[in-house]
């Protein structure tokens, strides 16, 4: 799968970036001084493709950080609900065990190991089957 991903995505993307860099290799001066555009004091001369690719990378990083910060509420509530579900399953296992012990020999008793395994399996299902 990794080789397929490399062949289909990364190789064409690399080729496009190389062609873009060759077509836009002339130098430009980048300055943050809005008052003196003819002789900027803090200007940097670099190839145009480097400026465009750097700005694109900074934009992707800024968007990713913003999205991650905005989703903090959902991640926190998901962790809280998962902890509540695990606690509720543990209580259910304890109640079933106490009910099995209290009802006497009429009821077939489940092994405590099976109860713990069922609780673990249910919590694993929650990890993968949970929807928000």
Q: Mean pLDDT throughout 33-44?
A: 78
Q: Is the pLDDT of residue 113 over 70?
A: no
Q: Are residue 84 and residue 59 in the same domain, yes or no?
A: no
User: Each residue of 49-91: pLDDT tens digit?
Assistant: 999 999 999 999 999 999 999 999 999 999 999 999 999 999 9
Looking at the structure, tell me whether residues 59 and 97 fall in a common domain: no
pLDDT band at 104; cut points 50, 70, 90: low
Mean pLDDT of the chain, nearest integer? 82
Question: CA 120, CA 116: separation in Å to the nearest integer?
Answer: 6
Interval 32-55 mean pLDDT: 84
Same domain for 118 and 63, yes or no, is no
Number of domains observed in the structure of the chain: 2
- Looking at the structure, do residues 7 and 66 belong to the same domain, yes or no? yes
Work out the burial of residue 82: count CB atoms within 10 Å of its CB; fewer than 13 is exposed, 13-18 middle, 19 or more buried: middle
Shared-domain flag, residues 63 and 83: no
Q: Is the pTM of this model over 0.75?
A: no
Which segments of the chain does DSSP mark as H helices, in order?
2-5, 11-23, 48-70, 72-102, 112-129
Same domain, 57 and 11: yes
63 and 83 in one domain? Answer: no
DSSP state of 71: T
29 with 86, same domain: the answer is: no
Show the domain range for 112: 79-129
Mean pLDDT of 3-10: 84
Share of the chain above pLDDT 90, in %: 42
pLDDT above 90 (res 1): no
Task: Kindly state the percentage of the chain with pLDDT values over 70.
Answer: 78
pLDDT bin (cut points 50, 70, 90) of residue 6 is confident
Name the band, by pLDDT with cuts 50, 70 and 90, for residue 33: confident
């Amino acid at each position: 799968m990794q080789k397929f991903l490399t062949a289909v995505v990364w190789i064409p993307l690399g080729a496009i970036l190389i062609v873009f860099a060759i077509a836009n290799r002339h130098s430009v001066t980048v300055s943050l001084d809005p008052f003196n555009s003819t002789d900027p004091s803090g200007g940097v001369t670099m190839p145009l493709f480097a400026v465009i690719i750097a700005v694109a990378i900074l934009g992707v990083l800024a968007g990713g950080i913003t999205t991650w910060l905005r989703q903090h509420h959902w991640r926190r509530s998901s962790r809280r609900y998962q902890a509540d579900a695990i606690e509720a399953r543990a209580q259910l296992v304890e109640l079933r065990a106490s009910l099995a012990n209290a009802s006497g020999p009429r009821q077939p008793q489940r092994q405590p190991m099976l109860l713990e395994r069922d609780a673990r399996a249910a919590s694993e299902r929650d990890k993968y089957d949970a929807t928000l």
